[in-house]
Amino acid sequence: MGGLEEVRGLAGWVPLSIAGISPVITVVGDVMLDGWFSGTIERLCREAPAPVVELDRRDYAPGGAANTAMNLAALGARVRLCGLTGADDAGARLRGLLAAAGVDVTHLVEDPAITTTTKYRILGGDQVLLRLDETPRRVPAGAAARVAAEAAAAVDGSDAVIVCDYGSGVLDGQVRDALAAAPGDRLTLVDAHDPAAWAALRPDLVTPNAREAAGLLGERLDPRGDRARAVRERTADLLEASGAAAVVVTLDRDGTVLLTADGEFHRTWARPATEKQASGAGDTFVACLAAARAAGLPLTTSLDLAQAGADIVVHRAGTSVCSAADLAQHLGSFAGTALEPDELLQAIRRERAEGRRIVLTNGCFDVLHRGHTAYLNQAKQLGDVLVVAVNDDDGVRRLKGPDRPINPVADRAGVLAALSCVDYVTVFSTDTPVPLIEALRPDIYAKGGDYSEQMLAETPAVEACGGSVRILDYVPERSTSAVVRKIRGPGPVVEGAS
């Protein structure tokens, strides 16, 4: 990747590339209606030792593939949805909610021989007490044939197609064959309980969770172990089993891992919530990922945006969606989040008391590019907590010349803080971060690979504090100076990697 797509911050992409370009995306999958029925509990029923919930609220939301479609519409995409519902009240309610959100439901097949899949949750106060599921006992052959025909029609002219296969059987056989045979070149993303079943589709992306990835590998992934490392070591096997060009393994509270055939590896880190009533964060993740890629964003940037979307909805109760405005507000909220030294020291003391290893790195980070994100992800994996120290504007001018920085320190710090791999951001004004190193006493001090330990003035201070210096891989032609040169055209540019 090169040019404009490398130099924007995450927040800058949201209205331009997702809502502005408005790609046409078709979702083919298992649709359902979610219900959230809540009330108060003051007594037990006479028939059994069970609580009586006095209902005072009923909320409904599209679920499954329908929730993915809702998220895409909220992000600004033009969405076509293909799936199967019954000719019942739940199906009618589902269609109404989708249409009101701007989702094209003309390819949604209705069959009176089945019931619409529903998942109704009963809440007493803040606690989910029970979930009532209703699913079709079988899929009539005629209904499957109609879904296959509608799927082929829906993907015609689409920029992307998302397959949401939760194992109902609707997408087996005829639908899968129709999608595989559909002409045209489009982004294809598969989110399926069994990704191997879709290998013949040769998808661009598959998004298995840890259990589904283990199924592809024919083994169990230890939830107490380093699952990111485990799946990375089996990249070739995952790609072969899924037939995909790239695999994104979702690890719940541990974020995600991107694996590609050319060896690209990128991680995101989740910002988990204790909220137990949230549902559908995976649908939001898939929708954001597909919308960003369909709009032309780099894969790693798309992954970070998808993680941000999932982080937003996991903090909300019920089945909810993430809009382009939500993303922009969330990412923009990181502006001004750089901690003062005293605040940072207090935070690091708490982290260290929990037994976490502290990694520190620093730089100007004037124009965020792939080289930065690659090495920040590497730095995060050296420990548990990543602290990024940013040169203030005067410091950048001293290092890079009077025409730098391109972006003021508040913007630079805000973009860094929005990255899921970054835990804390601070600003320093000295020529080197040695005073900060002496105060924080990091376990690891990381720098980009265009340095050596001997070149760094910080090395003695790190070692004196009992830490170690790690030089990370350098991404050629990905320095800020190289990016600035592309933007400004020929002319003298002060060299540097940060």
* Both structure tokens of 439: 């105060």
**From CA 251, how far away is CA 211, in angstroms rounded?**
9
The neighbour count for residue 473, using CB atoms within 10 Å, is: 10
Q: Which uninterrupted H or E stretch holds 427? A: strand 424-428
**From CA 105, how far away is CA 458, in angstroms rounded?**
60
The alpha carbon of residue 396 and the mean position of all alpha carbons in its chain are separated, in whole angstroms, by 32
Cis peptide before 405 (omega within 30 of 0): yes
**Alpha helix stretches (DSSP H) within 140-256:** 141-155, 174-181, 210-217, 227-232, 235-242
**From CA 306, how far away is CA 308, in angstroms rounded?**
5
The neighbour count for residue 408, using CB atoms within 10 Å, is: 13
Is residue 191 part of the annotated active site? The answer reads no
* Both structure tokens of 371: 């080289």
Q: Check if the beta carbon of residue 479 is closer than 8 Å to that of residue 497.
A: yes
Catalytic residue among 159, 283, 326, 423: 283
45 contact partners, CB below 8 Å, separation of at least 6? 51, 52
Burial 314-351 (b: 16+ CB within 10 A, else e): bbbbbbbbbbbebbbebbbebbeebbeeeebbebbeeb
Output the CA torsion sign for 148, 153, 154, 155. positive
Write out the catalytic residue numbers. 283
